[in-house]
A and B are shown apart, each in its own frame.
Chain A
Protein backbone atom coordinates (compact mmCIF):
# COMPACT_ATOMS: atom_id res chain seq x y z
CA UNK A 1 0.00 0.00 0.00
CA UNK A 2 2.98 2.29 0.65
CA UNK A 3 4.05 2.03 -2.97
CA UNK A 4 0.53 2.83 -4.10
CA UNK A 5 0.35 5.91 -1.90
CA UNK A 6 3.65 7.15 -3.28
CA UNK A 7 2.31 6.70 -6.81
CA UNK A 8 -0.81 8.60 -5.83
CA UNK A 9 1.30 11.49 -4.58
CA UNK A 10 3.21 11.55 -7.85
CA UNK A 11 -0.07 11.97 -9.70
CA UNK A 12 -1.50 14.69 -7.45
CA UNK A 13 -1.58 17.18 -10.33
CA UNK A 14 -3.88 14.84 -12.18
CA UNK A 15 -6.15 14.55 -9.15
CA UNK A 16 -6.64 18.33 -9.11
CA UNK A 17 -7.29 18.26 -12.83
CA UNK A 18 -9.90 15.52 -12.46
CA UNK A 19 -11.65 17.47 -9.71
CA UNK A 20 -11.61 20.58 -11.86
CA UNK A 21 -12.89 18.63 -14.86
CA UNK A 22 -15.69 17.11 -12.82
CA UNK A 23 -16.80 20.48 -11.50
CA UNK A 24 -16.71 21.90 -15.02
CA UNK A 25 -18.60 19.07 -16.71
CA UNK A 26 -21.37 18.96 -14.15
CA UNK A 27 -22.80 22.29 -15.20
CA UNK A 28 -21.13 22.52 -18.58
CA UNK A 29 -24.23 23.01 -20.67
CA UNK A 30 -26.26 25.05 -18.21
CA UNK A 31 -26.64 28.81 -18.23
CA UNK A 32 -26.21 29.34 -14.49
CA UNK A 33 -23.25 26.99 -14.28
CA UNK A 34 -21.58 26.73 -10.93
CA UNK A 35 -24.34 28.78 -9.26
CA UNK A 36 -26.45 25.62 -9.26
CA UNK A 37 -24.21 24.32 -6.49
CA UNK A 38 -25.52 27.16 -4.32
CA UNK A 39 -29.08 27.20 -5.64
CA UNK A 40 -29.77 23.60 -4.64
CA UNK A 41 -29.03 24.05 -0.91
CA UNK A 42 -30.78 27.44 -0.93
CA UNK A 43 -33.95 25.99 -2.43
CA UNK A 44 -33.78 23.00 -0.07
CA UNK A 45 -33.53 25.31 2.93
CA UNK A 46 -36.46 27.37 1.67
CA UNK A 47 -38.70 24.36 1.11
CA UNK A 48 -37.81 22.80 4.46
CA UNK A 49 -38.47 26.08 6.26
CA UNK A 50 -41.89 26.33 4.65
CA UNK A 51 -42.76 22.67 5.29
CA UNK A 52 -41.62 22.52 8.90
CA UNK A 53 -42.78 26.04 9.69
CA UNK A 54 -46.33 25.74 8.35
CA UNK A 55 -47.25 22.33 7.00
CA UNK A 56 -45.63 19.95 9.47
CA UNK A 57 -44.82 22.09 12.45
CA UNK A 58 -43.56 19.87 15.26
CA UNK A 59 -43.13 22.65 17.81
CA UNK A 60 -39.39 23.02 17.35
CA UNK A 61 -38.58 26.52 16.19
CA UNK A 62 -36.40 26.66 13.07
CA UNK A 63 -36.61 22.91 12.66
CA UNK A 64 -35.48 23.32 9.04
CA UNK A 65 -32.01 24.24 10.33
CA UNK A 66 -31.94 20.96 12.27
CA UNK A 67 -32.85 19.06 9.15
CA UNK A 68 -30.25 20.87 7.03
CA UNK A 69 -27.49 20.19 9.58
CA UNK A 70 -27.98 16.46 9.07
CA UNK A 71 -29.17 16.50 5.47
CA UNK A 72 -26.18 18.32 3.92
CA UNK A 73 -23.61 15.75 5.12
CA UNK A 74 -25.99 12.94 4.21
CA UNK A 75 -26.32 14.40 0.70
CA UNK A 76 -22.53 14.48 0.39
CA UNK A 77 -22.32 10.85 1.47
CA UNK A 78 -25.07 9.68 -0.87
CA UNK A 79 -23.86 11.62 -3.88
CA UNK A 80 -20.25 10.53 -3.37
CA UNK A 81 -21.18 6.85 -3.23
CA UNK A 82 -23.59 6.99 -6.17
CA UNK A 83 -21.14 8.97 -8.32
CA UNK A 84 -18.27 6.66 -7.34
CA UNK A 85 -20.22 3.63 -8.52
CA UNK A 86 -20.10 4.95 -12.09
CA UNK A 87 -16.71 6.64 -11.87
CA UNK A 88 -14.54 3.80 -13.15
CA UNK A 89 -17.13 2.11 -15.34
CA UNK A 90 -17.84 5.28 -17.30
CA UNK A 91 -14.13 5.79 -17.94
CA UNK A 92 -13.24 2.28 -19.11
CA UNK A 93 -12.50 3.53 -22.65
CA UNK A 94 -10.02 6.00 -21.17
CA UNK A 95 -8.26 3.58 -18.85
CA UNK A 96 -7.90 1.12 -21.70
CA UNK A 97 -5.71 3.64 -23.48
CA UNK A 98 -3.62 5.22 -20.83
CA UNK A 99 -2.16 4.58 -17.41
CA UNK A 100 -2.77 6.60 -14.28
CA UNK A 101 -3.64 5.39 -10.80
CA UNK A 102 -7.24 4.24 -11.21
CA UNK A 103 -8.23 5.39 -7.73
CA UNK A 104 -8.00 8.97 -8.98
CA UNK A 105 -11.37 8.52 -10.69
CA UNK A 106 -13.46 7.89 -7.54
CA UNK A 107 -11.23 10.16 -5.43
CA UNK A 108 -11.67 13.09 -7.79
CA UNK A 109 -15.43 12.72 -7.76
CA UNK A 110 -15.56 12.48 -3.97
CA UNK A 111 -13.44 15.61 -3.60
CA UNK A 112 -15.70 17.47 -6.03
CA UNK A 113 -18.68 16.47 -3.89
CA UNK A 114 -16.80 17.59 -0.80
CA UNK A 115 -16.45 21.03 -2.36
CA UNK A 116 -20.22 21.04 -2.83
CA UNK A 117 -20.62 20.19 0.85
CA UNK A 118 -18.47 23.21 1.74
CA UNK A 119 -20.72 25.41 -0.40
CA UNK A 120 -23.70 23.85 1.37
CA UNK A 121 -22.31 24.87 4.75
CA UNK A 122 -21.89 28.38 3.40
CA UNK A 123 -25.63 28.48 2.71
CA UNK A 124 -26.33 26.90 6.10
CA UNK A 125 -24.43 29.53 8.07
CA UNK A 126 -25.98 32.29 5.99
CA UNK A 127 -29.34 30.84 6.99
CA UNK A 128 -28.35 30.87 10.69
CA UNK A 129 -27.34 34.51 10.23
CA UNK A 130 -30.76 35.21 8.74
CA UNK A 131 -32.44 33.55 11.73
CA UNK A 132 -30.30 35.68 14.06
CA UNK A 133 -31.25 38.90 12.28
CA UNK A 134 -34.94 38.04 12.52
CA UNK A 135 -34.71 37.18 16.21
CA UNK A 136 -31.64 38.83 17.82
CA UNK A 137 -32.59 37.65 21.34
CA UNK A 138 -31.37 34.14 20.62
CA UNK A 139 -27.96 33.53 19.11
CA UNK A 140 -28.25 30.39 16.98
CA UNK A 141 -24.49 30.03 16.53
CA UNK A 142 -22.86 27.46 18.80
CA UNK A 143 -19.32 27.38 20.10
CA UNK A 144 -19.17 23.64 19.44
CA UNK A 145 -19.19 24.42 15.71
CA UNK A 146 -15.39 24.08 15.94
CA UNK A 147 -16.00 20.30 15.87
CA UNK A 148 -17.25 20.60 12.31
CA UNK A 149 -13.90 19.91 10.56
CA UNK A 150 -13.44 16.72 12.57
CA UNK A 151 -16.94 15.51 11.76
CA UNK A 152 -16.35 16.29 8.10
CA UNK A 153 -13.12 14.31 8.18
CA UNK A 154 -15.03 11.27 9.46
CA UNK A 155 -17.62 11.74 6.70
CA UNK A 156 -14.87 12.09 4.11
CA UNK A 157 -13.10 8.90 5.22
CA UNK A 158 -16.32 6.94 5.28
CA UNK A 159 -17.42 8.17 1.86
CA UNK A 160 -13.98 7.55 0.34
CA UNK A 161 -13.70 4.03 1.75
CA UNK A 162 -17.18 2.99 0.67
CA UNK A 163 -16.81 4.89 -2.62
CA UNK A 164 -13.67 2.91 -3.48
CA UNK A 165 -15.41 -0.38 -2.69
CA UNK A 166 -18.52 0.48 -4.70
CA UNK A 167 -16.56 1.78 -7.70
CA UNK A 168 -14.41 -1.37 -7.85
CA UNK A 169 -17.32 -3.79 -7.46
CA UNK A 170 -19.63 -1.94 -9.82
CA UNK A 171 -17.06 -2.16 -12.59
CA UNK A 172 -17.63 -5.92 -12.67
CA UNK A 173 -21.11 -6.32 -11.22
CA UNK A 174 -23.43 -3.59 -12.35
CA UNK A 175 -26.12 -4.67 -9.90
CA UNK A 176 -24.02 -3.01 -7.22
CA UNK A 177 -25.11 0.40 -8.44
CA UNK A 178 -28.79 -0.42 -7.91
CA UNK A 179 -28.09 -2.13 -4.63
CA UNK A 180 -26.32 0.95 -3.28
CA UNK A 181 -29.18 3.10 -4.57
CA UNK A 182 -31.60 1.10 -2.43
CA UNK A 183 -29.22 1.15 0.54
CA UNK A 184 -28.92 4.94 0.35
CA UNK A 185 -32.67 5.27 0.22
CA UNK A 186 -33.14 3.10 3.33
CA UNK A 187 -30.29 4.82 5.14
CA UNK A 188 -31.97 8.16 4.66
CA UNK A 189 -35.06 7.06 6.57
CA UNK A 190 -33.15 5.00 9.13
CA UNK A 191 -31.02 7.97 10.16
CA UNK A 192 -32.18 10.97 12.20
CA UNK A 193 -32.37 13.42 9.31
CA UNK A 194 -36.02 14.41 9.04
CA UNK A 195 -36.55 13.67 12.72
CA UNK A 196 -34.33 13.90 15.81
CA UNK A 197 -32.61 11.14 17.72
CA UNK A 198 -34.68 12.18 20.76
CA UNK A 199 -37.74 10.97 18.89
CA UNK A 200 -36.12 7.56 18.75
CA UNK A 201 -35.02 7.70 22.40
CA UNK A 202 -38.55 8.47 23.65
CA UNK A 203 -40.29 6.08 21.30
CA UNK A 204 -42.42 3.40 22.96
CA UNK A 205 -40.39 0.57 21.48
CA UNK A 206 -37.15 2.01 22.84
CA UNK A 207 -38.67 2.43 26.31
CA UNK A 208 -39.79 -1.21 26.21
CA UNK A 209 -36.28 -2.40 25.29
CA UNK A 210 -34.67 -0.26 28.02
CA UNK A 211 -32.75 1.84 25.53
CA UNK A 212 -31.13 -1.05 23.65
CA UNK A 213 -32.73 0.09 20.42
CA UNK A 214 -31.36 3.60 20.85
CA UNK A 215 -27.84 2.20 21.26
CA UNK A 216 -28.15 -0.11 18.27
CA UNK A 217 -29.62 2.71 16.22
CA UNK A 218 -26.53 4.84 16.70
CA UNK A 219 -24.14 2.08 15.71
CA UNK A 220 -25.03 3.08 12.16
CA UNK A 221 -22.27 5.62 11.44
CA UNK A 222 -24.60 7.79 9.38
CA UNK A 223 -27.05 8.00 12.28
CA UNK A 224 -24.26 8.84 14.71
CA UNK A 225 -22.86 11.45 12.31
CA UNK A 226 -26.28 13.02 11.71
CA UNK A 227 -26.78 13.48 15.44
CA UNK A 228 -23.16 14.55 15.81
CA UNK A 229 -23.48 17.32 13.20
CA UNK A 230 -26.72 18.51 14.75
CA UNK A 231 -25.25 18.64 18.24
CA UNK A 232 -22.17 20.48 17.07
CA UNK A 233 -23.98 23.10 15.01
CA UNK A 234 -27.21 23.82 16.85
CA UNK A 235 -28.67 24.24 20.33
CA UNK A 236 -30.31 21.16 21.85
CA UNK A 237 -34.10 21.05 21.58
CA UNK A 238 -36.90 19.57 23.64
CA UNK A 239 -39.37 17.51 21.69
CA UNK A 240 -43.03 16.89 22.23
CA UNK A 241 -44.57 13.49 21.72
CA UNK A 242 -48.29 13.39 22.39
CA UNK A 243 -48.83 15.74 25.30
CA UNK A 244 -45.50 15.26 27.05
CA UNK A 245 -42.50 17.42 26.36
CA UNK A 246 -39.19 15.60 26.72
CA UNK A 247 -35.89 17.31 27.48
CA UNK A 248 -33.06 16.92 24.98
CA UNK A 249 -30.68 14.05 25.51
CA UNK A 250 -27.17 14.03 24.20
CA UNK A 251 -25.64 11.22 22.25
CA UNK A 252 -22.71 9.62 24.04
CA UNK A 253 -19.39 10.58 22.34
CA UNK A 254 -18.66 6.86 22.17
CA UNK A 255 -20.93 6.51 19.15
CA UNK A 256 -18.95 9.13 17.28
CA UNK A 257 -15.74 7.27 18.15
CA UNK A 258 -17.30 4.12 16.77
CA UNK A 259 -18.30 5.99 13.59
CA UNK A 260 -14.73 7.32 13.31
CA UNK A 261 -13.29 3.82 13.75
CA UNK A 262 -15.67 2.38 11.16
CA UNK A 263 -14.72 5.10 8.69
CA UNK A 264 -10.99 4.48 9.12
CA UNK A 265 -11.50 0.74 8.66
CA UNK A 266 -13.67 1.45 5.59
CA UNK A 267 -10.99 3.70 4.13
CA UNK A 268 -8.11 1.26 4.61
CA UNK A 269 -10.16 -1.78 3.65
CA UNK A 270 -11.70 -0.01 0.67
CA UNK A 271 -8.34 1.12 -0.65
CA UNK A 272 -6.88 -2.37 -0.23
CA UNK A 273 -9.81 -3.93 -2.09
CA UNK A 274 -9.62 -1.33 -4.85
CA UNK A 275 -5.89 -1.95 -5.32
CA UNK A 276 -6.45 -5.68 -5.53
CA UNK A 277 -9.06 -5.27 -8.25
CA UNK A 278 -7.82 -2.25 -10.19
CA UNK A 279 -5.61 -4.11 -12.65
CA UNK A 280 -8.51 -6.19 -13.83
CA UNK A 281 -10.76 -3.22 -14.62
CA UNK A 282 -9.51 -3.09 -18.20
CA UNK A 283 -10.04 -6.83 -18.60
CA UNK A 284 -13.69 -6.82 -17.59
CA UNK A 285 -15.67 -9.10 -19.85
Chain B
Protein backbone atom coordinates (compact mmCIF):
# COMPACT_ATOMS: atom_id res chain seq x y z
CA UNK B 1 0.00 0.00 0.00
CA UNK B 2 1.38 3.37 -0.90
CA UNK B 3 1.61 6.26 1.54
CA UNK B 4 -0.87 8.37 -0.37
CA UNK B 5 -3.74 5.95 0.09
CA UNK B 6 -3.41 5.25 3.79
CA UNK B 7 -5.10 8.41 5.02
CA UNK B 8 -8.29 8.08 3.04
CA UNK B 9 -11.35 6.12 4.08
CA UNK B 10 -11.51 2.82 2.26
CA UNK B 11 -14.43 2.08 -0.07
CA UNK B 12 -14.15 -1.61 0.69
CA UNK B 13 -12.97 -2.86 4.02
CA UNK B 14 -12.80 -6.56 4.83
CA UNK B 15 -11.81 -7.97 8.21
CA UNK B 16 -11.28 -11.62 9.04
CA UNK B 17 -13.72 -12.69 6.33
CA UNK B 18 -14.69 -16.34 6.40
CA UNK B 19 -17.07 -18.29 4.23
CA UNK B 20 -18.09 -21.89 4.67
CA UNK B 21 -20.19 -23.83 2.23
CA UNK B 22 -22.18 -26.88 3.12
CA UNK B 23 -22.39 -29.41 0.37
CA UNK B 24 -24.83 -32.25 0.54
CA UNK B 25 -24.10 -35.35 -1.47
CA UNK B 26 -27.73 -35.64 -2.48
CA UNK B 27 -27.92 -33.84 -5.79
CA UNK B 28 -31.03 -31.75 -5.22
CA UNK B 29 -32.67 -31.35 -1.87
CA UNK B 30 -35.96 -33.11 -2.29
CA UNK B 31 -38.66 -33.63 0.25
CA UNK B 32 -37.00 -36.99 0.85
CA UNK B 33 -33.93 -35.30 2.29
CA UNK B 34 -36.17 -33.23 4.51
CA UNK B 35 -38.13 -36.22 5.72
CA UNK B 36 -34.97 -38.22 6.31
CA UNK B 37 -33.25 -35.43 8.17
CA UNK B 38 -32.72 -37.57 11.23
CA UNK B 39 -30.64 -39.96 9.19
CA UNK B 40 -27.09 -38.78 9.27
CA UNK B 41 -26.93 -36.83 6.08
CA UNK B 42 -23.66 -36.76 4.26
CA UNK B 43 -23.09 -33.05 4.49
CA UNK B 44 -19.58 -31.88 3.88
CA UNK B 45 -18.49 -28.48 5.00
CA UNK B 46 -15.64 -26.69 3.43
CA UNK B 47 -14.19 -23.34 4.06
CA UNK B 48 -13.61 -21.32 0.92
CA UNK B 49 -12.36 -18.17 2.60
CA UNK B 50 -10.27 -18.54 5.72
CA UNK B 51 -9.96 -15.11 7.24
CA UNK B 52 -9.24 -12.36 4.74
CA UNK B 53 -8.24 -8.81 5.57
CA UNK B 54 -7.86 -6.09 3.02
CA UNK B 55 -8.95 -2.59 2.02
CA UNK B 56 -9.59 -0.86 -1.27
CA UNK B 57 -9.41 2.90 -1.69
CA UNK B 58 -11.09 5.34 -4.08
CA UNK B 59 -9.42 5.50 -7.46
CA UNK B 60 -7.68 2.21 -6.92
CA UNK B 61 -7.81 -0.85 -9.10
CA UNK B 62 -7.12 -4.01 -7.14
CA UNK B 63 -6.88 -7.32 -8.88
CA UNK B 64 -7.23 -10.69 -7.26
CA UNK B 65 -5.28 -13.60 -8.69
CA UNK B 66 -4.98 -17.22 -7.75
CA UNK B 67 -5.71 -20.68 -9.04
CA UNK B 68 -9.20 -22.05 -9.59
CA UNK B 69 -10.92 -22.66 -6.30
CA UNK B 70 -8.81 -20.16 -4.39
CA UNK B 71 -11.93 -18.22 -3.37
CA UNK B 72 -11.67 -15.27 -5.74
CA UNK B 73 -15.18 -15.43 -7.12
CA UNK B 74 -16.65 -16.18 -3.70
CA UNK B 75 -14.99 -13.04 -2.41
CA UNK B 76 -16.54 -10.95 -5.17
CA UNK B 77 -19.94 -12.55 -4.64
CA UNK B 78 -19.84 -11.71 -0.92
CA UNK B 79 -18.96 -8.11 -1.72
CA UNK B 80 -21.86 -8.03 -4.18
CA UNK B 81 -24.09 -9.34 -1.36
CA UNK B 82 -25.01 -12.43 -3.30
CA UNK B 83 -23.59 -14.60 -0.53
CA UNK B 84 -23.60 -13.77 3.13
CA UNK B 85 -20.31 -14.37 4.92
CA UNK B 86 -20.08 -17.00 7.64
CA UNK B 87 -18.17 -14.62 9.88
CA UNK B 88 -16.08 -11.50 9.69
CA UNK B 89 -16.83 -7.97 8.70
CA UNK B 90 -17.45 -6.42 5.30
CA UNK B 91 -17.86 -2.69 5.01
CA UNK B 92 -18.74 -1.18 1.67
CA UNK B 93 -18.76 2.55 1.25
CA UNK B 94 -20.75 3.41 -1.85
CA UNK B 95 -22.78 1.71 -4.50
CA UNK B 96 -21.58 -1.48 -6.11
CA UNK B 97 -22.09 -2.54 -9.70
CA UNK B 98 -21.18 -6.17 -10.07
CA UNK B 99 -20.12 -7.49 -13.45
CA UNK B 100 -20.07 -11.07 -12.28
CA UNK B 101 -21.31 -12.47 -15.52
CA UNK B 102 -22.44 -10.22 -18.28
CA UNK B 103 -26.01 -10.49 -19.31
CA UNK B 104 -26.97 -12.92 -16.56
CA UNK B 105 -29.70 -10.64 -15.28
CA UNK B 106 -31.40 -10.31 -18.64
CA UNK B 107 -34.75 -11.83 -19.33
CA UNK B 108 -34.71 -13.53 -22.73
CA UNK B 109 -38.28 -12.57 -23.69
CA UNK B 110 -37.88 -8.86 -23.03
CA UNK B 111 -36.28 -6.49 -25.49
CA UNK B 112 -32.87 -4.99 -24.92
CA UNK B 113 -34.53 -1.71 -24.02
CA UNK B 114 -36.79 -3.29 -21.39
CA UNK B 115 -33.84 -5.15 -19.97
CA UNK B 116 -31.84 -1.93 -19.67
CA UNK B 117 -34.59 -0.47 -17.51
CA UNK B 118 -34.86 -3.59 -15.37
CA UNK B 119 -31.13 -3.94 -14.86
CA UNK B 120 -30.64 -0.26 -14.18
CA UNK B 121 -33.25 -0.38 -11.45
CA UNK B 122 -31.71 -3.52 -9.96
CA UNK B 123 -28.41 -1.66 -9.82
CA UNK B 124 -29.99 1.16 -7.87
CA UNK B 125 -31.19 3.83 -10.29
CA UNK B 126 -34.72 5.14 -10.38
CA UNK B 127 -36.67 4.50 -13.55
CA UNK B 128 -36.52 8.19 -14.37
CA UNK B 129 -32.72 8.25 -14.07
CA UNK B 130 -32.33 5.16 -16.22
CA UNK B 131 -34.61 6.56 -18.92
CA UNK B 132 -32.41 9.64 -19.15
CA UNK B 133 -29.37 7.45 -19.72
CA UNK B 134 -30.87 5.11 -22.28
CA UNK B 135 -29.48 6.99 -25.33
CA UNK B 136 -25.94 6.88 -23.93
CA UNK B 137 -26.26 3.21 -23.05
CA UNK B 138 -27.53 2.28 -26.50
CA UNK B 139 -24.77 4.28 -28.13
CA UNK B 140 -22.09 2.66 -26.00
CA UNK B 141 -23.42 -0.84 -26.58
CA UNK B 142 -23.41 -0.29 -30.39
CA UNK B 143 -26.59 -2.32 -30.65
CA UNK B 144 -28.52 0.14 -32.83
CA UNK B 145 -31.96 -1.11 -33.84
CA UNK B 146 -31.44 -4.50 -32.21
CA UNK B 147 -32.23 -2.79 -28.92
CA UNK B 148 -35.90 -3.36 -29.65
CA UNK B 149 -35.56 -7.09 -30.29
CA UNK B 150 -35.87 -9.66 -27.53
CA UNK B 151 -32.47 -10.45 -26.06
CA UNK B 152 -32.89 -14.16 -26.78
CA UNK B 153 -31.99 -13.26 -30.35
CA UNK B 154 -28.72 -11.63 -29.24
CA UNK B 155 -25.31 -13.12 -29.76
CA UNK B 156 -23.09 -13.53 -26.71
CA UNK B 157 -21.04 -10.55 -27.85
CA UNK B 158 -24.14 -8.38 -28.02
CA UNK B 159 -25.22 -9.51 -24.55
CA UNK B 160 -21.80 -8.73 -23.17
CA UNK B 161 -21.80 -5.26 -24.72
CA UNK B 162 -25.22 -4.44 -23.37
CA UNK B 163 -24.36 -5.73 -19.90
CA UNK B 164 -21.19 -3.69 -19.71
CA UNK B 165 -22.89 -0.60 -21.09
CA UNK B 166 -25.56 -0.74 -18.38
CA UNK B 167 -23.12 -1.41 -15.54
CA UNK B 168 -20.84 1.45 -16.47
CA UNK B 169 -23.67 3.95 -16.74
CA UNK B 170 -25.26 3.52 -13.32
CA UNK B 171 -22.84 5.79 -11.44
CA UNK B 172 -21.56 3.09 -9.17
CA UNK B 173 -18.67 3.83 -6.82
CA UNK B 174 -17.30 0.34 -6.98
CA UNK B 175 -17.06 -1.98 -9.94
CA UNK B 176 -16.64 -5.70 -9.31
CA UNK B 177 -15.34 -7.37 -12.42
CA UNK B 178 -15.12 -11.13 -12.70
CA UNK B 179 -13.18 -12.07 -15.80
CA UNK B 180 -15.56 -10.37 -18.15
CA UNK B 181 -13.71 -7.61 -19.92
CA UNK B 182 -12.23 -10.02 -22.41
CA UNK B 183 -15.50 -10.68 -24.21
CA UNK B 184 -16.53 -8.73 -27.29
CA UNK B 185 -14.11 -7.95 -30.07
CA UNK B 186 -10.80 -6.15 -29.77
CA UNK B 187 -12.18 -2.68 -30.50
CA UNK B 188 -14.93 -3.01 -27.95
CA UNK B 189 -12.52 -4.36 -25.37
CA UNK B 190 -10.37 -1.26 -25.83
CA UNK B 191 -13.41 0.92 -25.43
CA UNK B 192 -14.26 -0.87 -22.17
CA UNK B 193 -10.77 -0.42 -20.83
CA UNK B 194 -10.83 3.27 -21.72
CA UNK B 195 -14.12 3.67 -19.94
CA UNK B 196 -12.81 1.78 -16.90
CA UNK B 197 -9.78 4.08 -16.83
CA UNK B 198 -12.03 7.11 -16.82
CA UNK B 199 -14.14 5.58 -14.08
CA UNK B 200 -11.02 5.17 -11.99
CA UNK B 201 -9.81 8.70 -12.57
CA UNK B 202 -13.16 9.93 -11.32
CA UNK B 203 -12.49 8.19 -8.03
CA UNK B 204 -14.15 4.85 -8.62
CA UNK B 205 -12.80 1.67 -7.12
CA UNK B 206 -12.34 -1.46 -9.16
CA UNK B 207 -11.90 -4.91 -7.80
CA UNK B 208 -11.25 -7.46 -10.48
CA UNK B 209 -10.61 -11.13 -10.74
CA UNK B 210 -8.65 -12.25 -13.72
CA UNK B 211 -6.55 -15.05 -15.10
CA UNK B 212 -5.33 -12.71 -17.77
CA UNK B 213 -2.06 -11.71 -16.13
CA UNK B 214 -1.26 -9.14 -18.79
CA UNK B 215 -4.46 -7.29 -17.99
CA UNK B 216 -3.65 -7.49 -14.30
CA UNK B 217 -0.22 -6.03 -14.87
CA UNK B 218 -1.52 -3.30 -17.09
CA UNK B 219 -4.45 -2.12 -15.04
CA UNK B 220 -4.08 -2.76 -11.39
CA UNK B 221 -2.39 -0.60 -8.79
CA UNK B 222 -2.29 -3.45 -6.40
CA UNK B 223 -2.51 -7.17 -6.64
CA UNK B 224 -3.80 -9.66 -4.10
CA UNK B 225 -2.83 -13.30 -4.39
CA UNK B 226 -5.23 -15.82 -2.88
CA UNK B 227 -4.38 -19.44 -2.28
CA UNK B 228 -6.80 -21.87 -0.66
CA UNK B 229 -8.87 -19.08 0.83
CA UNK B 230 -6.00 -17.20 2.34
CA UNK B 231 -4.02 -14.21 1.25
CA UNK B 232 -0.51 -15.15 0.34
CA UNK B 233 0.72 -11.78 -0.74
CA UNK B 234 -0.49 -8.27 -1.45
CA UNK B 235 1.47 -5.52 -3.09
CA UNK B 236 2.62 -4.05 -6.37
CA UNK B 237 1.48 -6.14 -9.34
CA UNK B 238 5.02 -6.75 -10.60
CA UNK B 239 6.19 -8.25 -7.31
CA UNK B 240 3.07 -10.33 -6.68
CA UNK B 241 2.91 -11.62 -10.24
CA UNK B 242 6.55 -12.65 -10.15
CA UNK B 243 6.01 -14.56 -6.92
CA UNK B 244 2.80 -16.10 -8.21
CA UNK B 245 4.39 -17.28 -11.43
CA UNK B 246 7.38 -18.85 -9.72
CA UNK B 247 5.03 -20.62 -7.31
CA UNK B 248 2.98 -21.91 -10.23
CA UNK B 249 6.10 -23.13 -11.98
CA UNK B 250 7.38 -24.99 -8.94
CA UNK B 251 3.95 -26.52 -8.31
CA UNK B 252 3.88 -27.73 -11.88
CA UNK B 253 7.37 -29.18 -11.59
CA UNK B 254 6.31 -31.01 -8.45
CA UNK B 255 3.26 -32.41 -10.13
CA UNK B 256 5.20 -33.79 -13.07
CA UNK B 257 7.89 -35.30 -10.87
CA UNK B 258 5.41 -37.04 -8.58
CA UNK B 259 5.26 -40.73 -9.47
CA UNK B 260 1.83 -42.25 -9.97
Mark interface residues in B29-41 (1 if CB within 8 Å of A CB, else 0).
1110110000000
Q: Which residues of B contact A55 (CB under 8 A)?
A: none
Interface positions, chain A 86-112, Cβ under 8 Å from B, are 93-100
Q: Are A174 and B80 in contact (CB under 8 A)?
A: no
Contact A99 B80, CB 8 Å, known A13-B126, A17-B127, A174-B28: yes
Q: Are A176 and B127 in contact (CB under 8 A)?
A: no
Q: Which residues of A contact B101 (CB under 8 A)?
A: 97
Chain B CB within 8 A of A175 CB: yes
Q: Which residues of B contact A98 (CB under 8 A)?
A: 80, 82, 98, 100, 104-105, 122-123
Mark interface residues in B56-86 (1 if CB within 8 Å of A CB, else 0).
0000000000000000000001001111100
Main secondary structure of the interface of A (DSSP, over half): helix
Q: How far is the CB of A273 from chain B (nearest CB, A)?
A: 14
Q: Which residues of B contact A96 (CB under 8 A)?
A: 77, 82, 100, 104
Q: Which residues of B contact A176 (CB under 8 A)?
A: 31
Task: Give me the interface of A with B, judged by CB distance under 8 Å.
Answer: 13-14, 16-17, 21, 24-25, 28-29, 93-100, 172-176, 179, 279, 282-285
Q: Are A29 and B109 in contact (CB under 8 A)?
A: yes
Q: Are A93 and B104 in contact (CB under 8 A)?
A: yes
Q: Are B30 and A13 in contact (CB under 8 A)?
A: no
Q: Are A285 and B114 in contact (CB under 8 A)?
A: no
Q: Which residues of B contact A175 (CB under 8 A)?
A: 30-31
Q: Are B82 and A97 in contact (CB under 8 A)?
A: yes
Contact A282 B80, CB 8 Å, known A13-B127, A24-B114, A94-B105: no
Kindly report which residue of chain A lies nearest to residue B43, judged by CB atoms: A285
Contact A283 B83, CB 8 Å, known A17-B121, A93-B104: yes
7 A-B residue pairs with CB within 8 Å: A14-B122, A17-B118, A96-B100, A97-B105, A99-B98, A173-B30, A282-B83
Q: Are B29 and A285 in contact (CB under 8 A)?
A: yes
What's the Cα separation between A51 and B34 when bound, in Å? 45
Q: Are B121 and A13 in contact (CB under 8 A)?
A: yes
User: B29 touches which one: A13, A16, A17, A284 (CB < 8 A)?
Assistant: A284
Q: Are A17 and B83 in contact (CB under 8 A)?
A: no
Q: Are B83 and A173 in contact (CB under 8 A)?
A: no
Contact A283 B22, CB 8 Å, known A13-B126, A93-B104, A98-B105: yes
Contact A21 B29, CB 8 Å, known A94-B104, A98-B82, A99-B80: no
What's the Cα separation between A114 and B227 when bound, in Å? 51
Contact A95 B82, CB 8 Å, known A21-B110, A21-B118: yes
Q: Are A28 and B109 in contact (CB under 8 A)?
A: yes
> Given A283-B21, A285-B24, 10 more contacts at CB 8 Å?
A13-B126, A17-B117, A25-B110, A96-B100, A97-B82, A97-B105, A98-B123, A173-B31, A283-B83, A285-B23
